[in-house]
Structure 1
Amino acid sequence: MGLVYFHLVAAVTSFFIGSFLLIRQKGSSVHKQLGKVYMLLMLATAISALFIPAQVGPQVFYHFGYIHILSLVTLYTVPEAFFAIRRGDIKKHRNAMVILYVMALVVAGAFAFMPGRLLHSWLFV
């Protein structure tokens, strides 16, 4: 259960930092520093999710479900965005970060509240 709590704290923290980064000025030193923290938290969230068994829907390869695809998207998108900004490709970095935020936090977060999922049972039952 400790891994679930770690995953939840990393995801919620990522959501708040990501929201802040999306609405604030880009390119500032605060943006750069929080962006690094955000990327590390997103990687931690994705990696920890891979060790949490799917609770809803079919499972493949022992315990993976459809929601684990979002972890793979995250593990691809974070380095893509990091290297894009290092190359000065702001458009690719921005697009990758928006996709990451929407898919890995908003979509996955919405799924986390569906009936049969742990957060749903904590909050609504």
Structure 2
Amino acid sequence: MSLQPLLDAPLAVQFHVATVVPAAILGAFIFLRPKGTAIHRLLGRIWVTLMVMTSVSTFFIHELRMLYGFSPIHLLSVLTIYGCLQSVLFARRGEIRRHMRIMQSVYLGGIVIAGGFTFVPGRIIHEVAFGDGQPGLVVLFAGVFVFALLSLTVFTQRRRTS
């Protein structure tokens, strides 16, 4: 376990991690909290801002060059930005079910699935987590990942029963 690969990474990667980690934690927290409250709206605005900043930062990261310097992750970034904007629009229109479904999808795709790709060998987070064989950071990342999945499950189940 070593943060050195992240500290040695380009500024765009560091910025990306600095926005996505709080977005992952805040998003899971929002899913567990009551909806429609003033605090939900405030935290939601912060989360959407973090997600858009995270997504925009990917356009300055070109580690996986597949097509003109871009990869499928960049497409996911476009979908995340679009989803965030659409979801805010639906919430303002009072279309809460659509807002909820889109936000769940954005979290699942933009945090959970995209986050899973960062653990592929050769990626910086893989080096951070598995570089020297120490389990400390691996446990932290696994805990955040499991917490995010459990949060989505709890949120989905809670909505189905209400």
Q: Normalization by structure 1: what TM-score?
A: 0.94
The Cα shift of 1:70 comes to: 1.1
Find the counterpart in structure 1 of residue 7 from structure 2. none
Find the counterpart in structure 2 of residue 29 from structure 1. 38
Q: Any gaps of 5 or more consecutive residues in structure 1?
A: none
Q: Any gaps of 5 or more consecutive residues in structure 2?
A: 1-9, 132-162
| 1:121 aligns to 2:127 (yes or no) | yes
State how many pairs are aligned: 122
Aligned-residue identity in percent: 34
Find the counterpart in structure 2 of residue 99 from structure 1. 105
Distance 2:60 2:67 in 1: 13
Find the counterpart in structure 2 of residue 76 from structure 1. 82
Larger radius of gyration: 2
Find the counterpart in structure 1 of residue 137 from structure 2. none
| 1:60 aligns to 2:67 (yes or no) | yes
The match for 1:15 among 24, 37, 40 is 24
Runs of 4+ in 1 over 6 A off after TM superposition: none
The Cα shift of 1:123 comes to: 1.7
The Cα shift of 1:42 comes to: 0.3
Of structures 1 and 2, the one scoring higher in RCO (CA 8 A, sep 6+) is 2
Q: Normalization by structure 2: what TM-score?
A: 0.73
The Cα shift of 1:19 comes to: 0.2
